[in-house]
Amino acid sequence: MSPSTKRTLAVALATVLTAAGCGFVNSDDEDAGASGKVSAFVSTEQQLGLSSLHPKFEQSAGVTFDLTAAPTADLNEQLRVQLTSGTAADIFRVSPGLSSPVAVGVLGGQGELADLSTADWTKSMSADMRGLASVDDKVYGFPVGQNAIVMAYNKKVFAEAGVEPPRTWSELLTACDRLRAAGVVPISAGFTGGVYLQFWVYALAASLVYGPEADLNDRMLAGEVDFADHAAWTTTFEKFLALREYMTPQANGVSSDQSTADVAQGRAAMQLMVSSGLPALFDGSEGGAADFGVFALPATDDATETRLPVAPDFLAVNKNTNNLDQVNEFLDFLAEPANVKSYVETLGMLPALDVVDDAKLDSLEPVLSYVKDKRTTPFANYLWPNGDTQQRLLQSGQQLLADEIGIPDLLGQLDAEFDKGTP
């Protein structure tokens, strides 16, 4: 995302927050169906991606598109209230899987969402994507795009240390040794709040846990296996701790912004991040995106075993909408190849529907083959039955890093939250 695009997002954010401050009133209009008004409540990121698309839909479909947006955390809180009070929009942003109280799996299971299973675009969803969008084999989520966890690195720092992007675990350790010998922090880590720490778990688990056992989460949900007695989960955290010596000292007290700035300015070599964070990294360097590269984090010594963790971003449809035909028409419109391409190029995301292969995504080019070859896995927390398991990881993961608890303690705590099931 270019600096000009970021400025556009800032203006859009100010606009939509002003609208949100006036109160969301789209869905309680009794005449909404008769007037041909389609209302949407989306995240600020989605709003930017849709900004050039919904006016085209308005013109072609002859409907008024009433779009309101808010930051994701605020949207999640407001949406739950709106659904309870019957004032929710026709279309709204939902989380994947069971990861929050407003996730597809939760709201779909509660009967709040319209069934989208018969739409043609569902045939272009991967099996993993469909699983995160469904309840009892019925599709309730439309994927507008997806982010990935990538290792972003400073090309100049790598070159000066004589390091190439590693493809295996052993190559990663060797690279870290060479970078440290060159006088830079090999891995920039800012784990305040635990948010960026969790990405390490998801990235390692993608290759070590879910790659070899695609059905593992089903087995965990069935009570056949848990965190504590599955060796791959122990290995995941052991490998995370093995990298600690190469990370920013006292990482629990370092912000993610500082961590990104250190890579941008060449004080550190690389940072594991969600791809949506790349524009902030690029903006911190005079050369912009050209100064950086990305690769998928290897976890074994077989490069073919590396998996790319991905996270879809969903829209869902209010089951009580008065405008179901127009809403379905809008989703069909978004699923057209040209519109998928427009959305992902605007936001620098990966396509979530398998309908385009020519999107201009230069910064993510090194990892596009993982998507094409279907070597991806969802973020682990989207597979878990509740958001409390993730919250436990955020908190206890920091304690593990600080040697306040051990791996068996952490795994036991994750099991306790996981076993509570879905609220």
Give me Rg for the CA atoms of the chain. Answer: 22
Give the tens place of pLDDT for each residue, 2-16: 444 443 444 344 343
pLDDT at 100: 87
pLDDT at 2: 42
Residue 36: burial class (beta carbons within 10 Å; 0-12, 13-18, 19+): middle
The tokens of 105 are what?
């799996």
**What average pLDDT does the segment 407-420 reach?**
97
Distance from CA of residue 243 to its chain's centroid?
23
In angstroms, rounded to a whole number, what is the distance separating the alpha carbons of residues 74 and 274?
Answer: 20
Q: Which residue intervals of the chain bear CATH 3.40.190.10?
A: 3-147+312-361, 148-309+376-418
**What average pLDDT does the segment 208-219 reach?**
94
| Per-residue confidence band for 28, with pLDDT thresholds at 50, 70 and 90 | very low
**What average pLDDT does the segment 335-343 reach?**
96
pLDDT at 21: 37
Smallest CA-to-CA distance from 375 within 310, 280, 292, 293 is with: 310
Task: State the pTM of this model.
Answer: 0.85
Q: Mind spelling out the 3-state secondary structure of the chain?
A: CCHHHHHHHHHHHHHHHHHHHCCCCCCCCCCHHHHCEEEEEEEHHHHHHHCCCHHHHHHHHCCEEEEEEECHHHHHHHHHHHHHHCCCCCEEEEECCCCCCCEHHHHHHCCCECCCCCCHHHHHCCHHHHHHCEECCEECCEEEEEEEEEEEEEHHHHHHCCCCCCCCHHHHHHHHHHHHHCCCEEECCCCHHHHHHHHHHHHHHHHHHHCCCCCHHHHHHCCCCCCCCCHHHHHHHHHHHHCHHHECCCHHHCCHHHHHHHHHCCCEEEEEEEHHHHHHHHHCCCCHHHHEEEECCCCCCCHHHCCEEEEEEEEEEECCCCCHHHHHHHHHHHCCHHHHHHHHHHHCCECCCCCCCCCCCHHHHHHHHHHHCCCEEECHHHCCCCHHHHHHHHHHHHHHHCCCCCHHHHHHHHHHHHCCCCC
pLDDT at 348: 87
The tokens of 166 are what?
């590693």
**What average pLDDT does the segment 250-256 reach?**
96
Q: How many CB atoms lie within 10 A of CB 358?
A: 7
The answer to whether the beta carbons of residues 317 and 305 sit under 8 Å apart is: no
pLDDT at 312: 94
pLDDT at 338 over 60: yes
Give the tens place of pLDDT for each residue, 40-96: 999 998 999 999 999 999 999 899 989 999 998 899 999 999 999 999 999 999 999
H helices of 243-372, in order, are: 256-264, 278-283, 324-334, 337-347, 368-372
pLDDT at 237: 98
**What average pLDDT does the segment 183-199 reach?**
95
pLDDT at 17: 37
Range ranked top by mean pLDDT from 50-59, 100-109, 240-249, 358-367: 240-249
Q: Tell me the average pLDDT of the chain.
A: 90
In angstroms, rounded to a whole number, what is the distance separating the alpha carbons of residues 366 and 151?
Answer: 11
User: Which residues, including other chains, have CB under 8 Å from residue 327's CB and lie 6 or more apart?
Assistant: 38, 90, 91, 114, 317, 321
In angstroms, rounded to a whole number, what is the distance separating the alpha carbons of residues 274 and 63?
Answer: 36
6 residue type, one letter: K
| Per-residue confidence band for 285, with pLDDT thresholds at 50, 70 and 90 | very high
262 residue type, one letter: D
Smallest CA-to-CA distance from 163 within 272, 273, 295 is with: 295
| Per-residue confidence band for 36, with pLDDT thresholds at 50, 70 and 90 | confident
pLDDT at 151: 98
Give the tens place of pLDDT for each residue, 351-408: 999 999 888 999 999 999 998 898 999 999 999 999 899 999 999 999 999 999 999 9
Share of the chain above pLDDT 70, in %: 92
pLDDT at 361: 92
109 residue type, one letter: G
Under CATH, which architecture does the 148-309+376-418 domain have? Answer: 3-Layer(aba) Sandwich (3.40)
Give the tens place of pLDDT for each residue, 115-171: 999 999 999 999 889 999 999 999 999 999 999 999 999 999 999 999 999 999 999
**E strand or H helix that includes residue 313:** strand 308-317
| Per-residue confidence band for 248, with pLDDT thresholds at 50, 70 and 90 | very high
Task: Check if CATH label 3.40.190.10 holds for domain 3-147+312-361.
Answer: yes
pLDDT at 29 over 90: no
**What average pLDDT does the segment 282-306 reach?**
97
The tokens of 279 are what?
């524009």
